[in-house]
Chains A and B, each alone.
Chain A
Amino acid sequence: MKKVYCDISATTPTNHEVVDLMATIQKNFFGNPSSIHKYGQESHAIIEKSRIQVADALNCHQEEIIFTGSGTEANNIALQGFIEPKDHIISTSYEHPSVSNVLKSLKKNKGASLSLVKPDKDGKINPKSIKSLISEKTKLISVMLVNNELGSINDIKKISEISKNKNIILHVDAVQCVGKIPINLNDLRIDLMSLSGHKFYGPKGVGALFIRKGINLKTIIDGGGQELNLRPGTENISGIAGLGLAISKACKNIVNNIQYVKNLENIFIEKLNQYNIEYILHIEDRLPGVLTIGFPGIDGQSLLIALDLKGIAASFGSACSSGTTKASKILLDSGISEDLAKSTLRISFGKIHSKEDILYVAEQLDNIIKRLKK
């Protein structure tokens, strides 16, 4: 049976060059990067090389990058490390749980106050809404660059101008889009930004946090002082190397990749039209390849299972909230009716797909929807 993995937003298959590099490192470089001897020096060099790769890809300084165990960990280190009791935070109602739950617990346990902005119908956060909530106590704004369920891209440039003018720190969860759209940290006034290796064809279990020079975070994990004492623990050398190679590969070809993926999207939509499939594409300005698409009258979970049995992997809500039949809160918040939300899938394409893959997905969707409508 043909297999097409269309859940690029959940995670990506690891690039084979990355896998080879990681295997080589696992086999040959076991030294503790903190050790003085040659073994340690070699491991240390691998990490620093990777740090340069990340900094180059994002156009920032290498001292501004620390490696973490995941995107979630990066968000925790940034938010918990920055917020002081009684600080006011502005964020959005549709952050990933690795941000929203941290903010909730900062509110509960540290007495921080929290204002949340809901997305507009286009799935985006209106910068003016953020501006209107700013008070003297506002210390941090946290807005994701691309929403993980909708694929909508926020106007971070405008938001960063607001935060810069008001001297407020801007934290951006960019896990969903690093390596998929260009991000230039020299150009954008972002202060803290998280990313995760497995979202751009790198390994799982490794992420990174950008911390703009001059920002001091408190330590939230006590240990041996690695990664500016912000993420202590002996480093995951092969993972870090894999992340470095993956981000440099992803960012090098970013413009071509975007073109390629957009073309796949067009082919897909054209095919759906040809088949006369009834669908509603929710977000217009979105991350290339991410389709949040409703099929009215069709139960999303049933469709997901039926697709899987045909070798096609997609998702219903985000990966973290899959396995429940409740309508996604994020879809509801962006103004989609409960029925339509329950009929909505996220199908995400990437550079790994061929035109044949996309045609196969459309064909199977047609077959399945006809069967389920019977």
Chain B
Amino acid sequence: MSKSKKKKRVLVAMSGGVDSSVALVKVLEMGYEAIGVTLKLWENKDKKTNKVIDSDCNSLDAVNGAKLVCDRLGVHHYTLNFIDLFRNEVVSNFSDEYFSGRTPNPCIRCNSIVKWEALINQLDVFDADMIATGHYAQIKNNNGEFELCKGLDQLKDQSYMLWQIDKKLLEKTILPIGELTKNEVREIAKEYKLENASRSESMDLCFVVDNDYRQFLNEFIPEKVKNIKQGEIINDDGDVIGAHTGYTNYTIGQRKGLGLSFPEPRYVKKILPNDNKIVVSKKAGLLSSGCYISNLNWMKNIKEFPFEFKARIRYNSQGAKAIVTNKNNKFFCEFETPQLAVTPGQSIVFYINDSVAGGGIIE
């Protein structure tokens, strides 16, 4: 049988949750042959019993859930072990970033390096043609130019999380639930009796137990954590106004746990790892009018800068008008109105209408 006559085969990345389960349903409805894969990324072990501790995104439960859904739909399922890749490319970067006083976004890095690049590299093994995931975003084909666009459900849109994916990989990707609302997804799950897919999708980091990243860093790189000492909390003028417990325990915009008492609350404005200092200010002090951007990944061909986009500086932000300039490949983003807590290490994503033009890391 020649390949052109064969049904196209799609690898569906399954977390065991409702979104990826419905993605599988949709892939089958589109007439593709599907194979379910669950990526094993991490194992948290209890130190006393050496038993694996479940985390929402990566648990035995999730794998079993995915297996059950695949079995129900008559589809092969495999668990692919990407633990080494995930540790080296995502978790190490996560801890390095914290040690540089920055706030990383490991899920975005994981999407591009693991869920896209590494998974697409597996296509040959499965003799498959494309991958599919349960992200709320859309890929549109404009005369052979593939565009990454927001998901139809504005409340669930995950295009922000996908800016780092290599543009070339979009043509090998299907995002089957991007045109659905979360309610429609739930309805389909009900219709197909995928009750076990009723688990909520986790927003926590899959490798961090109880979302306690400080404890995680303690265990992941204890030697480095040991060198993190207490230090001074200073204000904008450089006056010492308190003490911090170690700069990795703080993130930009943090208010709680600073141990300061002022009539008007203070927020972490800057982390200075080299001086071992934390700068705090009033809320207004967190506003910034612009930022430099590194690690750019352009999905659209922007011929000339400066260029005006709508920029999102965090997952749940609405976006703000911003002008990006390029001076000798140094990109700077100036917001039309100053933005609160522009956080180094976090992602900034640029949109033209609903389409992702590109993104980068805030410096």
Contact B126 A309 (CB under 8 A): yes
Contact B76 A323 (CB under 8 A): no
Contact B81 A325 (CB under 8 A): yes
Residues of B within 8 A of A306 (CB): 125-127
B124 CB-CB contact with A under 8 Å: yes
* Cα(A371)–Cα(B126), bound, Å: 10
Contact A372 B79 (CB under 8 A): no
A372 and B76 in contact (CB under 8 A), knowing A309-B35, A324-B81, A325-B81? no
Tell me the nearest residue of chain A to B33, going by C-beta.
Answer: A309
Contact B81 A372 (CB under 8 A): no
Residues of A within 8 A of B79 (CB): 323
Per-position contact with A for B61-103: 1 when CB-CB < 8 Å, else 0? Answer: 0000000000000001011010000000000000000000000
A255 CB-CB contact with B under 8 Å: no
Contact A309 B124 (CB under 8 A): no
* Pick from A299, A301, A309: contact of B127, CB under 8 Å: A309
A302 CB-CB contact with B under 8 Å: yes
Contact A305 B124 (CB under 8 A): no
A374 CB-CB contact with B under 8 Å: yes
Contact A374 B124 (CB under 8 A): yes
Question: How far, in Å, is B13 (CB) from chain A's closest CB?
Answer: 15
Tell me the nearest residue of chain B to A304, going by C-beta.
Answer: B78
Question: How far, in Å, is B64 (CB) from chain A's closest CB?
Answer: 13
Contact A309 B81 (CB under 8 A): no
Residues of A within 8 A of B35 (CB): 309
* Cα(A309)–Cα(B78), bound, Å: 11
Question: How far, in Å, is A210 (CB) from chain B's closest CB?
Answer: 33
A63 CB-CB contact with B under 8 Å: no
Give the one of B81, B122, B125 with max A CB within 10 A: B125
Contact B81 A323 (CB under 8 A): yes
A308 CB-CB contact with B under 8 Å: yes
Within B35-81, the residues touching A (CB, 8 Å) are 35, 76, 78-79, 81
Residues of B within 8 A of A299 (CB): 125
* Cα(A323)–Cα(B82), bound, Å: 11
Per-position contact with B for A296-320: 1 when CB-CB < 8 Å, else 0? Answer: 0001011001101100000000000
Contact A371 B127 (CB under 8 A): yes
Residues of B within 8 A of A371 (CB): 124, 127
* Pick from A301, A308, A325, A374: contact of B76, CB under 8 Å: A308
Contact A305 B125 (CB under 8 A): yes
* Cα(A322)–Cα(B262), bound, Å: 58
Question: How far, in Å, is A372 (CB) from chain B's closest CB?
Answer: 7
Tell me the nearest residue of chain A to B40, going by C-beta.
Answer: A323
* Cα(A286)–Cα(B35), bound, Å: 36
Contact B81 A302 (CB under 8 A): no
Residues of A within 8 A of B122 (CB): 302
* Cα(A168)–Cα(B81), bound, Å: 44
Residues of A within 8 A of B81 (CB): 301, 323-325
Residues of A within 8 A of B125 (CB): 299, 302, 305-306, 372
Residues of B within 8 A of A324 (CB): 81
Residues of A within 8 A of B127 (CB): 306, 309, 371
Contact A372 B124 (CB under 8 A): yes
Give the one of A299, A323, A371, A372 with max B CB within 10 A: A323
Residues of B within 8 A of A305 (CB): 78, 125-126
Question: How far, in Å, is B7 (CB) from chain A's closest CB?
Answer: 13
* Cα(A291)–Cα(B124), bound, Å: 26
Per-position contact with B for A330-374: 1 when CB-CB < 8 Å, else 0? Answer: 000000000000000000000000000000000000000001101
Give the one of B79, B122, B127 with max A CB within 10 A: B127
* Cα(A116)–Cα(B127), bound, Å: 44
Question: How far, in Å, is B286 (CB) from chain A's closest CB?
Answer: 45
Residues of A within 8 A of B126 (CB): 305-306, 309
Residues of B within 8 A of A308 (CB): 76, 78
* Cα(A269)–Cα(B312), bound, Å: 61
Question: How far, in Å, is A311 (CB) from chain B's closest CB?
Answer: 11
Which 3 residue pairs are nearest across A and B when measured between Cβ atoms?
Answer: A302-B125, A325-B81, A305-B78
A-B contact pairs, 15 of them (CB 8 A): A302-B125, A305-B78, A305-B125, A306-B125, A306-B126, A306-B127, A308-B76, A308-B78, A309-B35, A309-B126, A324-B81, A325-B81, A371-B124, A372-B124, A374-B124
A residues with a Cβ closer than 8 A to B are 299, 301-302, 305-306, 308-309, 323-325, 371-372, 374
Supply 4 further A-B pairs (C-beta < 8 A) apart from A306-B127, A325-B81.
Answer: A309-B35, A323-B79, A372-B124, A372-B125
